[in-house]
A = this chain, B = another copy of it.
Amino acid sequence: MAAGDLFHKQGVRGVGVEAIAEAAQTNKMTLYRYFESKDELIAEWVRGIVAHKEEEWKDLAAKHRGDPEGQLQDWSRRTAAKLRLMEERGSALMNAFAELPDPNHPARRVIQEYRLREHKRVLRLCKEAGFEDPKFSANLFTMLLEGAPSCGQCVGMRQIGEHLVQVVDRMVENNRQQRNAG
């Protein structure tokens, strides 16, 4: 769906259905034969992004089976890689979330549910990795991951990506030392 670029660049509320259809190389009528409303269209776009992220989590678990620390590190690296391709406008999900205040909006629900799943996953990884205070570490990770795209708009995505990777590496390193010492 190439119309996703429009959603990301102009915001889901700032782009009209006609423009979406044009970007998808079709027209409004055909669009409405596949999606029952613009809100559902937005939700479907969001579902695509979320599905892609879920697949990446699967990848992650497969590549670092039994290595939760490796998963956390790799996730930070993947995030940094995406940051580099982001430039200007931040996270598509977070922006859409901010644009849709209605708690019952289908797209917002999809985003919120994904965030909860992601945070739970991070928390589980922190527990498995034997972090001293898993809740604390998980919240720390999530704050960093969600703050990065926003902060990157200020100081540049490349730099923020590098520092994100660095800090996660340090956290993991500290945990290893702590674990071996304890």
Contacts and interface: CB of A to CB of B under 8 A. Distances in A.
A95 to B, nearest CB: 4
Interface in A62-99: 89-90, 94-95, 97-99
Contact of A143 (B13, B97, B112, B147): B147
A151 interface: yes
Contact of A148 (B100, B143, B153): B143
Nearest to A11: B101
A9 to B, nearest CB: 6
Interface residues of A, number: 40
Among A89, A94, A101, A144, residue most surrounded by chain B Cβ atoms (within 10 Å): A101
Interface of A: 9-11, 13-14, 89-90, 94-95, 97-101, 112, 115-116, 119, 135-136, 139-140, 142-148, 150-151, 153-155, 159-160, 163-164, 166-167
26 contacts: A9-B101, A10-B101, A11-B101, A13-B13, A13-B14, A14-B101, A97-B98, A112-B153, A112-B154, A116-B154, A119-B154, A135-B159, A136-B166, A136-B167, A139-B163, A142-B155, A143-B143, A143-B147, A143-B148, A143-B151, A143-B160, A143-B163, A144-B144, A144-B147, A145-B147, A147-B147
